[in-house]
Amino acid sequence: MGLLRRGSSGGGAVLVVVVCVGCIAATAMAAAAGGGGGGGECPKYKDSKQPLNKRIDDLLRRMTLAEKIGQMSQIERENATFDVMRNYFIGSVLSGGGSVPAAQASPAAWVSMVNEMQRGAMATRLGIPMIYGIDAVHGHGNVYKATIFPHNVGLGCTRDPDLAKRIGAAVAAEVRATGIPYVFAPCVAVCRDPRWGRCYESFSEDPRVVQRMSSIISGFQGEIPPGGRRGVPFVSGGRPSVAACSKHYVGDGGTTRGMNENNTVATLRELMTVHMPPYYSAVAQGVSTVMVSFSSWNGVKMHANHFLITDFLKSKLRFRGFVISDWQGLDRITTPAHADYMLSIKLGIMAGIDMVMIPFTYTEFIDDLAALVKNGTIPMSRIDDAVRRILRVKFTMGLFERPYADLSLAGELGKQEHRDLAREAVRKSLVLLKNGKPGDAPLLPLPKRARSILVAGAHADDLGSQCGGWTITWQGLAGNNLTAGGTTILDGIRRAVDAATEVVFAEAPDAGFMRRNAGRFDAAVVVVGEPPYAETLGDNLNLTIPAPGPSVIQNVCGGGVRCVVVVVSGRPLVIEPYMDAIDALVAAWLPGTEGQGVSDVLFGDYEFTGKLARTWFRSVEQLPMNVGDEHYDPLFPFGFGLETRKAN
């Protein structure tokens, strides 16, 4: 018995036949071409009752070179029309940062877009489903109304792997709500220099903390069953799960001066003891994919590093998922980028990259790779290894049985349960660095029944700055119109205090304002920090608090009122010059949409418990400086964090 479903698109009507007993997703087009097995034959690869390896072997032997290269190709959403998917046998599609079907697109719009691309893939001779991938590094960040969780720099301060796992599960549900089964997360970089613009994507400078927090992979994919084979990709079918991607392999957090895509100078022992351990944990959890870093190791581009990709990751660690390039990663093997694309393809594929994030020049990639195979430069065995790995992940995910998305999970996007979890994560990620000047009583927790509280600083009422980069757009945007839902820190303060307490917000009060009003306030909360940013544009060699933050601190904290400074940033910043004036200091990192988690702790509903997962330096001249270094003289050491008790 079967179900007939007719779909239309730019490629014309397509008759899809879904057979209910074992054999699935056969297309009329496949049968007409002979690839689907005529005369009622059910090919093994379509039979869900067949062992995994038999399904892979059966499909692989049926595939042409063009179909294999198509599987290795990942193109950008804007190019992925029905005809392109069908005619080039495209195996994967992605959304780059900010690449969406429409502004403020609904789950229905996302599902419709993904399914239209899938129809193109399923209309091919063999009907191999495509896999759609998206960055979800702190929630489903591209999507309007999604829950935005704290970036990893904050989560590392919780030291709570169970929290990370629960966040992974919540993010997986929100991603699946939009019809997407694959996320380019988590980043398991070990950031050794906060000048790096991606440092907020790293859980810690300590590989042991990163390893613990890599439990988010089991949240994304589900718990690998007891006795599961090490290195084999695993995605649970028991709840909304997504395939995960550990990135960026390997050493991306150790580049010189923290510059993005730069060179990591390290001995093999240093690479293996500092940067590699998180990948041991990822592989042990059955991570489906690994993304290669733009960076180099001792001058060799990672995208061309056969030793680390093939000899170590695939052979030594026995990783059986697929290795994916970063965005135009093959192009950047040469300087300037794309100078010798044929050479770049040769080096990247022979190094062991299985799927290539092209994302635009897909016809050039397909033609050049085909030429390299036909002239014997790249052996068919390398192509078959790549495609075998890609198919293994797709079969494991159940894409052949369930290629199309539906709207049954639409209610997961931004739901209150997830926002409550994000708020919990904010509370646990906050680190209290100072609480009272010498000889004074602690300032925190603040009283809810104060007469009047001053809130100052632009970051107090800025949802976009709270969320940081990789939120709706690639670099992120300041302001409160970025996404819907969530609370700013100012909103949280107003909700936390007694109804009779006056809350005065002054974005940038000057000295005159403070002279006139100092006696009016029982306390002040100053919220300052960095603007949103992401990779490369976020690289910063001075790490000072951007203006007008310093003047706001000086005017308010030097203006006769006890003040707590809350720093909203993706990394430690230069704060020592202001320490004498500050009564209390809180590192809030990039808390995401649920700013009320900050006020929860400021006013004593919950305790401060977070511990620094990064060294807080005194000056940038000390960098790089990490725990365990011979010359270690931080302002606040790794692991530091004061604690408070709940208010009565």
Strands of 289-292's sheet in order across:
245-249, 289-292, 322-324
* Contact of 88 with 70, CB cutoff 8 Å: yes
Q: Is 174 a catalytic residue?
A: no
For 238, counting Cβ atoms within 10 Å of its Cβ (0-12 exposed, 13-18 middle, 19+ buried), the class is exposed
Q: Give residue 20's region: left, alpha or beta (phi > 0; psi -120 to 50).
A: alpha
- Active-site residue identified among 331, 530, 535, 583: 535
CA distance 485 to 362: 38
First to last CA, the chain: 66
Q: Is 535 a catalytic residue?
A: yes
Beta strands, E only, 259-387: 263-264, 289-292, 296-297, 300-301, 322-324, 356-357
DSSP annotation string for 318-342: ---SEEE--TTTTGGGSSSTTTTHH
| Residue tagged active-site, from 160, 206, 326, 600 | 326
Whole-angstrom Cα distance, residue 453 to residue 498?
A: 11
Give the span between the Cα atoms of 281 and 210, in whole angstroms: 9
Enclosing H/E stretch for 121: helix 107-122
Per-residue burial over 357-389, b = 16 or more CB atoms within 10 Å of its CB, e = otherwise:
bbbebbeebbebbbebbeeeebeeebbebbbbb
Quick count: other Cβ atoms within 10 Å of Cβ 41? 12
Strand pairing category for 502-506 and 452-456: parallel
Is residue 277 within 8 A of residue 214, CB to CB? The reply is: no
Sign of the dihedral through C-alpha 215, 221, 223, 227? negative
Q: How far apart are CA 277 and CA 602, in angstroms?
A: 36
Helix ranges restricted to H, 505-595:
511-517, 549-557
Angle of the 161-177 helix axis to the 416-429 helix axis, nearest 10: 150
Contacts of 622 (CB under 8 A, 6+ apart): 633, 634
Residues comprising the chain, all counted: 648
Say how far apart CA 647 and CA 603 lie, in whole Å.
7
SS3 breakdown of the chain: % helix, strand, coil, rounded to 5? Answer: 35, 15, 50
* DSSP 8-state secondary structure symbol assigned to residue 487: B
Of the candidates 248, 257, 112, the one whose C-alpha atom is nearest the C-alpha of residue 190 is 248
- State CA 128 to chain mean position distance: 27
| Residue 290 bridge partners (DSSP) | 246, 323
CA neighbor of 511 nearest in space, from 566, 548, 564: 548
Residues classed as catalytic: 326, 535
